[in-house]
Amino acid sequence: MRRLRRISAVKPNAQDFAEAAERHLDDVHAFLVYLTGDRNVAEELTAETFARALERWRRYDPRRGSARTWLCQMARSTALDHFRSEDRRRRREGRYALDVPETGESVFGEGLSPELERALSRLSAAEREVLALRVLLELDGESAARVLGISASACSTRLSRALQKLEQEVSAGVAA
Amino acid sequence: MSPLELVDDRFEKLAEELRAARPVVPEPLRERVRALSPPPPPRFELSLRRLAPAAGLAGLAAVAGVAVVLGVVHGSSLQHPAKRATGAPSAVEHGTAKATGERKNPTARVQSLRSYGDALAPSSVRLQRYDAFLRVRVRNQNELSSRTREALRLTRKLDGYLVWARYAAPRRTGDSELVLRIPVENVQAAIAGFSSYGTLVQQRIVLKDLQERVDSLTSRIGRLRREIARIEQRLAGPLTPDQRAFLKQRLREDRQRVAALTAQKSSSVRRARLASVALTIVVGAEPAAAKGRFRRTLDDAGSVLVRELEIVLYALLVAGPLLVLGGAAILTGRSVRRRADRRLLERT
């Protein structure tokens, strides 16, 4: 019996995946919204992330980290693939600036002040992703660093700089 | 404790606002994710993480298997070197004067002395050069002395004689070397006698056919003699002084050649009639008892494993720099990709 439990812990099944998806869907979606700065793209990437995760669920090893960290890593990888293909497309089309959605809707969440919304949109994806992981998802430094593929101290430095920039942008927005 | 407290308390209000306005998953997306169905499980998934230990175990099993099989085959098919040394002759060669050691017929190595002597009996119809080299171990200096004297007595008894001798017995060790000439018809008896003086640790016999050489010399001598008779007949007739002088010169040369060839022939025949026996008697302890089959198998398997280890180490030495370069290339590639991703995210 103990042996069976150990095997099931090492080889998660589809039922485990359904539970993990239900539990962490909000986190992955929020992370991708911050990373992409575009709700529609984030929705597409969220669906794609979970489709990929389901395919690779057999390879997930709980001993190497939580399901949330693993799903966030996969979301980041999916988003990077998207950014790369978008970058190539823009290069082909001779456009170097990213399109910022001008829909007037709130991208980063309902109820955010316009200054904060604008400030977030002025941050880079690299800055927003660390904010999402550490502030929104409240991941600890080590887990966030693992998702970003950097050291914990580098992650802390990035977070500090991102917050400072966000605050500056908010202050600048209020003053304007 | 909030994660931000580690950075700065002044950002806490900002963080609270962000958390309060956290993006919400639209219901269609939630349904879409719920509707995801798992792909059919692959029949056989080749993952490096699983394959590496399996390949490692298979490699170890193959290495151990080869060592065990070779150990069993060698342990059962060959006698131990110590046993070979205490047994019969260690090398048999004939038909050539070039000694080639123990590489010849392996079955001849373990023949008994008797059958060995029978097999190498000198030919009764052809002239042969017969050289024997024997090494016999005795227990102490007294035996060394008595056996050396016995060897000389036996040689004389068999109508042979001593060509060269050396005897040295410092402290508790010692050895004697005798080079003997013994008529070929008695050489087998001599070898059998010498071998019984102690433990025969080495025996080598070299046979070389001399018949062809003697036949060739006989033929050349006959031709020269016929030529001499012809010249003598011409000299008896009428000749000019120059012709007579020329023929006399040739007659002298031919007679000298006949004398030289006859001496060579006599030497070869004499050499064929007397065998040369080099006997070395040494004082030494008995070798360790021959190991059992299981022990031999273990020893052989161990030596095969050591050899395999050497090969693996050699391969690692050769492939090591390439592996290091490959690893460095992979790490560099990852680093470059991470930087590119970082730049991409910073300008997005």
At B41 the pLDDT is: 66
Q: How many CB pairs under 8 A join A and B?
A: 122
Looking at the complex, report in whole angstroms how far the Cα of residue A104 sits from the nearest Cα belonging to chain B.
16
Q: Which of residues 47-66 of A touch B (CB under 8 A)?
A: 47, 50-51, 54-55, 57-59
Handedness of CA B6, B12, B14, B19 (dihedral sign): positive
- Domain hosting B74: range is 51-79+291-307
Same domain, B61 and B137: no
Instruction: Decide if B203 contacts B289 (C-beta within 8 A).
Output: no
Instruction: Decide if B265 contacts B221 (C-beta within 8 A).
Output: yes
Q: Does A70 touch chain B (CB under 8 A)?
A: no
Q: Domain end: B258, B288, B318, which one? A: B288
Same domain, B149 and B69: no
At B119 the pLDDT is: 42
Q: Is residue B132 part of a domain?
A: yes
Same domain, B300 and B200: no
Backbone angles phi, psi at B168, to 5 degrees: -140, 130
| Amino acid type, B80 | H
CA dist., res. B343 & res. B340, Å (int): 5
Q: Does A18 touch chain B (CB under 8 A)?
A: yes
Q: How far is CA B122 from the centre of its chain?
A: 30
pLDDT at B6 over 60: no
CA dist., res. B179 & res. B132, Å (int): 10
Burial class of residue B38 in the structure, from the number of CB atoms within 10 Å of its CB (0-12 exposed, 13-18 middle, 19+ buried):
middle
* Token pair listed for A79: 């988003």
CB contact under 8 A, B345 and A126: yes
* Token pair listed for B279: 């006997």
At A131 the pLDDT is: 92
Q: Is residue B320 part of a domain?
A: no
Looking at the complex, report in whole angstroms how far the Cα of residue A13 sits from the nearest Cα belonging to chain B.
10
CB contact under 8 A, B33 and A108: no
At B96 the pLDDT is: 39
CB-nearest to A47 from B17, B33, B348 is B33
> What confidence tens digit (pLDDT) does each residue in B234-277 have?
888 888 899 899 999 999 999 999 999 999 999 988 888 899 99
CA dist., res. B111 & res. B195, Å (int): 14
For residue A10, the chain B residues in CB contact (below 8 A) are none
- Count how many domains chain B has: 2
Looking at the complex, report in whole angstroms how far the Cα of residue B327 sits from the nearest Cα belonging to chain A.
19
For residue B7, the chain A residues in CB contact (below 8 A) are 156, 159-160, 163
At B326 the pLDDT is: 94
For chain A, the three-class secondary structure string (H helix, E strand, C coil) is: CHHHHHHHHHCCCHHHHHHHHHHHHHHHHHHHHHHHCCHHHHHHHHHHHHHHHHHCHHHCCHHHCCHHHHHHHHHHHHHHHHHHHHHHHHHHHCCCCCCCCCCCCCCCCCCCCHHHHHHHHHCCHHHHHHHHHHHHCCCCHHHHHHHHCCCHHHHHHHHHHHHHHHHHHHHHHHHC
Q: Are strands B128-138 and B274-283 parallel, antiparallel or unpaired?
A: parallel
Q: Is residue B328 part of a domain?
A: no
The neighbouring-strand residues paired with B107 are: none
The neighbouring-strand residues paired with B181 are: B161, B276
Q: Does B12 touch chain A (CB under 8 A)?
A: no
Q: Is residue B159 part of a domain?
A: yes
Same domain, B168 and B190: yes
CA dist., res. B36 & res. B336, Å (int): 35
Mean pLDDT of B201-212: 87
Q: Does A171 touch chain B (CB under 8 A)?
A: no
At B45 the pLDDT is: 61
Same domain, B282 and B160: yes
Same domain, B276 and B297: no
Same domain, B199 and B91: yes
Same domain, B117 and B159: yes
Instruction: Decide if A107 contacts A33 (C-beta within 8 A).
Output: yes
How many CB atoms lie under 10 A from the CB of residue B213? 16
pLDDT at B89 over 50: no
Same domain, B150 and B276: yes
Q: Which of residues 112-151 of A touch B (CB under 8 A)?
A: 112-113, 116, 124-127, 129, 131, 134-136, 138-141, 149
Looking at the complex, report in whole angstroms how far the Cα of residue B331 sits from the nearest Cα belonging to chain A.
13
CB contact under 8 A, B3 and A140: yes
Backbone angles phi, psi at B40, to 5 degrees: -60, 140
Produce one character per residue of B113-143: b if its CB has 16 or more CB atoms within 10 Å, e if not.
beebbeebebeeeebbbbbbbbbbbbeeeeb
Ordered by start, the domain boundaries in chain A are 2-175
| Amino acid type, B209 | D
Looking at the complex, report in whole angstroms how far the Cα of residue A156 sits from the nearest Cα belonging to chain B.
7
CB-nearest to A163 from B14, B17, B47 is B14
- Please give the C-alpha separations between residue B76 and each of A121, B15, B80, B300, B308, in angstroms, as whole numbers: 82, 80, 10, 10, 21
CB contact under 8 A, B4 and A129: no
Angle at A40 between CA A148 and CA A20, to 5 degrees: 55
Q: Is residue B253 part of a domain?
A: no
Q: Does B157 touch chain A (CB under 8 A)?
A: no
pLDDT at B115 over 50: no
Same domain, B91 and B69: no
pLDDT at B97 over 60: no
Produce one character per residue of B326-346: b if its CB has 16 or more CB atoms within 10 Å, e if not.
eeeeeeeeeeeeeeebbebbe
Same domain, B103 and B207: yes
User: Going residue by residue through chain A (176 aa), what tens digit of pLDDT does each one get?
Assistant: 444 444 344 456 777 888 889 999 999 999 999 999 999 999 999 999 999 999 888 888 888 889 999 999 999 999 999 999 988 888 888 655 555 555 556 788 888 888 888 899 899 999 999 999 999 999 998 999 999 989 999 999 999 999 999 988 888 877 76
Q: Using 50, 70 and 90 to split pLDDT, how confident is the model at B328?
A: very high
Q: Using 50, 70 and 90 to split pLDDT, how confident is the model at B7?
A: low
Same domain, B150 and B55: no
> What confidence tens digit (pLDDT) does each residue in B126-161 have?
888 899 999 999 888 888 899 999 999 999 999 999
